[in-house]
Structure 1
Amino acid sequence: MTRDKLYSLLLLHLIVLIFGFTGIWGKLVSLESAPLVFLRMLIGGSLIGVFLLVSRRKWRLPLNMTLKMALVGLIVAAHWITFFEAIHRSNVSVTLSTMASTSLFVAVLTPIIGGGKLKWYEVWLGVVVIVGLAMIFGFASGFWEGMVLALISAFLAALFTLLNAIFIRHIDSLRITLWEMLFGAGVVAIYLGVVGYSFEDFLHLSGLDWLWVLLLAVLATAFAFVVSVQVMKVLSPFTVAISVNLEPIYSIILALMIFGEEERMSWGFYMGSALILVAILANAFFKKKEAAYAK
């Protein structure tokens, strides 16, 4: 392995570890989900904008993409709001295990949005994911509200992932993220104004709350995205996909270490989570073989 590949691999796992902390920081902050997402998107988007200006890259958006970016920004905002709300209604372990169903939604939505075909192995792996989710629900039924919100969040994540895969054919990924973050922050700001949220409340946040918000916005949004773009120039998509799929494992282990008994679940829950993880890894394996045959 070359030094560049080793460095990129270490950076990639650092990013995945940071993503693993996302749920932890979301649970620690005292802000409600919508205000938290507003700050995360506003600060994260602004930092990416500064990066684009400093590096003298294009930042303007073609007019024909404006409405599309605004729509996806709304979807991303709704995804994060339901994600953090799921953590508040259940815990980190339940939310991240359920969020692993994103790959199932991607497989189902791809023929509708992306124009691809539903593969035979995706059907069977989808069944495995459903069985895993059923096991999690059966052994953690007290957290059903969090599971439902996490499923909605997973669906929204699959939706904006597929839409971005289409948009990236016409516009670079940094500009996509910049405008989705800023449009999303704008939509959430309007929502907060309508429901009567006082923006003066941000001035009364504790130092720790600001720390968690900044970690989410700076590390888990701006830094993680910019670095992930860089490592994908060196590492294969398969390596990136496999590594990113480790996020739920990192999150569950971190939650157990930090929150202890509050995050400890039954053996059936972990069996269901393991089934979902096996399905995700198998999906990545089949896709690699499929790509190899296509060459």
Structure 2
Amino acid sequence: MSGLLQLHLGVLLLGGAGLFAKLIDLPALDMIGYRGFLSAAFLALVLYFGKHSLKITSLRDLGIALLVGSLAAVHWVTYFYAIQVTTVATAMLALFTYPMMTVFIEPIFRRTLPDKKDVLLGLAVLLGVAMLFPDLWFGESQLSDEYLIGVGAGLLSALCFALRNVLVQHKFGHYNGGQSMFFQFLITGLLLLPFISVPATDLTADSIWKLVLFSVVFSACAHALFVSAIGHTGAKTAALVACLQPVYGICFAFLILAEAPALATIGGGSIILAAAMYETVSSKKSSKNAQSTVSNK
């Protein structure tokens, strides 16, 4: 399988993962808790047979793993809760504000200020987020409190996702993608275990097979495909293709759940995704130019 095909398949599966928030009859916290253990178990087998270590090598790394895993847990729970109380489209587009959040968070690690361009892109993304509230724009009816909380949960998910990504890049990058995801899934499962409201013995057969499908195919395999493809296609291509995740997700939601996004939501999503893609391209160009400058010295 070519790297580009692997990449698109991984992003396609990740785009379909959000549908399980509607398809599995469980609270978001329970769903993500069970997925943590199932995905971690599958990745443990993959890493074992691939002769990769499953150990944390230092106390410092253990602390970072716990922080990264905690952020991942909050990111996943809030994201799936947002899908449950709004729509797949709204939650996914709220999540995809994370590239712009990242450009404001990363300078903190580098002790620099954001570029003016990034500030302007941030304002554009705010406009896109505002358009996720179509009823307010057209004055047809008031949005429910649950919908507003759902969008807020989606934005919190984006913030946790951006923080997790920056921490992994700057503090946890010496572990490969499979190892990193294994630790995150395992820590997520352990953190959420005390709060799971539906015991494993009470799960229906329908919930169990959907959880296994969700955890193994649409989570562990999806992440494995995506990480593996980066080595063949490059991070820039991977980041750009990843921006198709909401598109795939919205198409799945329309075909399977009959969720048709409002025109304002499509407009806001277009602004958010355009800003994300532009930031991805420009940041990669800046990184490449910086490397070229260093190599010429």
**What TM-score, normalized to structure 1?**
0.89
Find the partner of 1:31 among 22, 26, 34.
26
Alignment of structure 1 residues 179-194 onto 2, 5 Å: 179-192=183-196
1:212 alignment partner in structure 2: 210
Which residue pairs with 1:51 in the alignment?
Answer: 46
CA distance in 2, matches of 1:37, 1:95: 16
Q: Give CA deviations for 1:174-210 in whole Å, capped at 9, x if unaligned.
A: 2222222212211101233xxxx352xx233333322
Q: How far is the alpha carbon of 1:56 from its aligned partner?
A: 1.7
Alignment equivalent of 2:176, drawn from 172, 175, 179: 172
CA contact (8 A) 1:9 1:235 kept: yes
Distance in 2, matches of 1:41 and 1:285, equals 32
Alignment correspondent of 1:279: 275
In structure 2, what residue type is equivalent to 1:133?
V
140-149 or 249-258, larger mean C-alpha shift: 140-149
CA contact (8 A) 1:73 1:184 kept: yes
Instruction: Indicate if the aligned counterparts of 1:256 and 1:264 stay in contact, CA closer than 8 A.
Output: yes
Contact 1:26 1:212 in 2 (8 A): no
Structure 1 runs of 4+ with >6 Å offset: none
Q: Would the aligned equivalents of 1:16 and 1:247 in 2 still touch at CA under 8 Å?
A: yes
Code of the residue aligned with 2:171 in structure 1: it is F
Q: Map 1:256-275 onto structure 2 (within 5 A).
A: 256-260=254-258, 263-275=259-271
- Determine whether 1:87 maps to 2:86: no
| Aligned pairs for 1:97-246 within 5 A | 97-113=93-109, 115=111, 117-139=113-135, 141-142=143-144, 143-192=147-196, 197-199=197-199, 202-246=200-244
| Counterpart contact for 2:21–2:81, Cα < 8 Å | no
Greater Cα shift, 210-219 or 9-18: 210-219
Unaligned segments of structure 2, at least 5 residues: 137-142, 293-297
State the superposition RMSD in angstroms: 1.8
Amino acid corresponding to residue 226 of structure 2 in structure 1? S
TM-score normalised to the size of structure 2? 0.89
Aligned residues: 282
Give the Å deviation of 1:271: 0.9
Offset from partner CA, 1:63-116 (integer Å, 9 cap, x none)? 321122112211111111111111111111111111111112111111123545
Asked whether the 8 Å contact 1:114–1:166 carries over to 2, the reply is: no
Unaligned runs of 5+ in 1: none
